[in-house]
Amino acid sequence: MAEDFIPFSGSKQEQYEYVLAQAEALLAQETNTIANMANICAILKEQFNWFWIGFYSVDQTNNTLVLGPFQGPIACTRIPHGKGVCGTAWAKAETIIVKDVHQFEGHIACSSLSQSEIVVPLKKDDTVWAVLDIDSETLATFDLIDQEYLERIVGLL
């Protein structure tokens, strides 16, 4: 079966409503988490064309986040708990929006092209099991609308 995704034009909120509906339909057909993470990355990349979009899963053995499905250039493979934006979002168990990554103390620069970032934790029973990390080549790309909808999208997993 072939799945198609055609980007939608409209306000940011309208685009997210479209993406959310598409993600719900796509994920309803598949139970494998890795496959669903990969398709969420693809949908977000197709719709918004951000620089980098990907998931990091918690590896309790090493107390790190380990790279999972993503769209974009090569990325950091492991991120320690509490380090960088991803590790901090994991430690705090909350979404973090960074308007300028160069102003974030301890930012891990997987790419010098990244300018702003949002990291959304995925939780089960209040325990973070992964994070969605999105980087933009533009300053101040992400806001509370992104946070609201990205939290809803990862909630589908």
Residue pLDDT, tens place only, 12-62: 999 999 999 999 999 998 999 999 999 999 999 999 999 999 999 999 999
pLDDT for position 113: 75
Is residue 7 in some structural domain?
A: no
Per-residue pLDDT at 111 exceeds 70: no
Listed in sequence order, the residues at least 6 apart from 13 whose beta carbon sits closer than 8 Å to its beta carbon are 145, 149
Domain span including residue 143: 12-154
Element (H, E) at 117: strand 116-124
Is residue 141 in some structural domain?
A: yes
Is residue 4 in some structural domain?
A: no
In 3D space, the residue among 16, 26, 73 whose CA is nearest the CA of residue 48 turns out to be: 16
Higher pLDDT, 41 or 4: 41
Q: How would you class 105 by CB atoms within 10 Å of its CB: exposed for 0-12, middle for 13-18, buried for 19 or more?
A: exposed
CATH number of the domain enclosing 65: 3.30.450.40
Give me the number of domains the chain comprises: 1
Are 36 and 30 a contacting pair, CB within 8 Å? yes
Strands (E), 21-88: 52-59, 64-71, 78-80
pLDDT for position 128: 97
